[in-house]
Amino acid sequence: MRRSGLHRQHGKQGAGGGGVGAKGIYAKLTIAVVVLLICTLSLLFSATIGGNRGSLEPSEINAEELWESAKSSGWRPSSAPRSDWPSPPRETNGYLRVRCNGGLNQQRSAICNAVLAARIMNATLVLPELDANSFWHDESGFQGIYDVEHFIQTLKYDVQIVESIPEIQKNGKTKKIKGYQLRPPRDAPIEWYTTVALKKMQEHGAIYLTPFSHRLAEEIDNPEYQRLRCRVNYHALRFKPNIMQLSESIVDKLRAQGHFMSIHLRFEMDMLAFAGCIDIFNPEEQSILKKYRKENFAEKRLVYKERRAIGKCPLTPKEVGLILHAMGFDNSTRIYLAAGELFGGERFMKHFRDLFPRLENHSSVDSSEELVTNTQGLLGSAVDYMVCLLSDIFMPTYDGPSNFANNLLGHRLYYGFRTTIRPDRKALAPIFIDRENGRTEGFKEAVRRVMLKTNFGGPHKRVSPESFYTNSWPECFCQVSPKNPADKCPPDNVLEVLDSRLENKVTSDPETLAEKNSTSRTEG
């Protein structure tokens, strides 16, 4: 109907209403201009309001509230099995040896993968070997860092574990099984272990996987397998008593004066060389970084300005201080620094120290000989890990390829959604670049606006490239009153059930019964 009316109107104007048509056009143009003006004013007004809201929103960051754990939304950690989970059979397919390379936290992930690989192949796991790597020059080994008895006992429902491959008697001679050496593909799928690796294990009685870092795919479509990883990482892998006591002592001393924050300040030679962020250093320092990069990393063209603009450079100590200051933390904030030797010396720390003078590290809090002599080894890294885990707030300054930061983010999430501050380096880069170029107006508001969009440690969906070890939600969490039945928490007595099954399996095993009867006859 409307279309035919318009046609009739145009017809009248064309037939002889020229003056009327001109007036009509003029009226329409006037209305259009008015409408356009109103729209423009409306947009400007909206932009002004939006701008004002943007400057007001950052003030919603309340530094005091961040000292408390993040909201859990009804979730709690749980890595106990939620479906039928048979205990490991007495007879396995052979022995699995692995050599975990890298630093303490890369080795930690490898140990989790080793346990899962043993479960997948129905293998007996030999206590994992820790590489005495070239960076730390530390030969502590698994027994020197972790509580072996606790490790084996905690995983008794999952895999059989021995400290070494036992010797066998064959033709009246004692013989030691030699593991067939294999190099697993990076991020190998489960199928590789159930075919290639298992075949060699059955042929030789044992296999030796080396190197063993990132050698099992992280994303596995089996929640029970993922929960096993969490049982290893957050329950079975407990540091030796002396390390736990030392860490708790440091935490007690720090907390005696109130809340404290831990920061993993990854402004170290290896990470700066890896990232290619060298232009801020003097010629001599640049030469050191270039040499280290050439010797340790693949050749690649890296342009500092390009890397910096997209957030690929570790935050400088000064930038870390400015972020915290913009968020509302003041010079009374107590900060524990977990870091190796900072590259570039004290000149890079000065501004940070001016803003936050209450800085500590494990040596300043506890000057015991045990730490002083092992501060750069696995012991120092283990103590830093525990203090960061137990701190009220944790902030990694470079969580890209940093196993320390990524593992801690996951552990703190599992440990009750403890607050983390994860700077979005890509979003912050242009703000810092503007500041360096003299455009300082609105700096704090811009930083707060970015930080408001970050996750402060609550449950959130895992999105690639985020690692399972950084975020094991939802597989390793549950809800008491879930909307989805799959998220329901397992019964409280789940371990008792598993214990009962394991006991029944042992007592019903013919070989075990024979041993018991033999013992009874001897004692009688």
pLDDT at 503 (0 to 100): 67
Separation CA 490–CA 485 (nearest Å): 11
Label residue 84 by pLDDT band (50, 70, 90): confident
Using DSSP's 3-state secondary structure scheme, residue 130 falls into strand
Helices (H), 391-493: 403-414, 425-436, 443-452
Bridge partners (DSSP) of residue 99 are: 129
- Percent helix, percent strand, percent coil in the chain, to nearest 5: 50, 10, 40
**Nearest by Cα to 384 from 372, 375, 393:** 375
Could you say which DSSP state residue 400 is in? Answer: S
> 226 and 306 in contact (C-beta within 8 Å)?
no
Residue appearing with tokens 């993922």 = 226
- Determine if the pTM surpasses 0.85: no
**Nearest by Cα to 294 from 282, 280, 278:** 278
pLDDT tens digits along 118-176: 999 999 999 999 986 644 556 678 998 999 999 999 999 999 999 999 887 777 777 88
pLDDT at 4 (0 to 100): 36
Dihedral over alpha carbons 194, 199, 205, 210 (to 10 degrees)? -70
Using DSSP's 3-state secondary structure scheme, residue 78 falls into coil
Calculate the average pLDDT of the chain: 83
**Mean pLDDT, rounded, for 431-451:** 95
For residue 430, the Cα-to-chain-centroid distance in whole angstroms is 25
Label residue 491 by pLDDT band (50, 70, 90): confident
Peptide bond into 211 cis (omega under 30): yes
Residue 25's CB is within 10 A of a number of other CB atoms, namely: 11
Separation CA 456–CA 423 (nearest Å): 10
With 60 as the cut, is the pLDDT of residue 10 above it?
no
Q: What would the two tokens of residue 458 be?
A: 């609550």
CA distances (Å), origin 353, targets 94, 204, 251, 350, 386: 56, 59, 21, 5, 24
Instruction: Determine the length of the chain.
Output: 524
Separation CA 413–CA 394 (nearest Å): 11
pLDDT tens digits along 417-426: 999 999 999 9
Separation CA 211–CA 218 (nearest Å): 17
Separation CA 102–CA 108 (nearest Å): 9
Residue appearing with tokens 């707060």 = 448
φ/ψ (deg, to 5) at 79? -115, 15
**Nearest by Cα to 147 from 467, 386, 446:** 386
Q: What would the two tokens of residue 486 be?
A: 């799959």
CA atoms within 13 A on the CB side of 470: 20
pLDDT at 368 (0 to 100): 66
> 229 and 100 in contact (C-beta within 8 Å)?
no
Label residue 1 by pLDDT band (50, 70, 90): very low
Domain definitions of the chain by residue range? 93-233, 239-477
**Nearest by Cα to 309 from 443, 440, 427:** 427
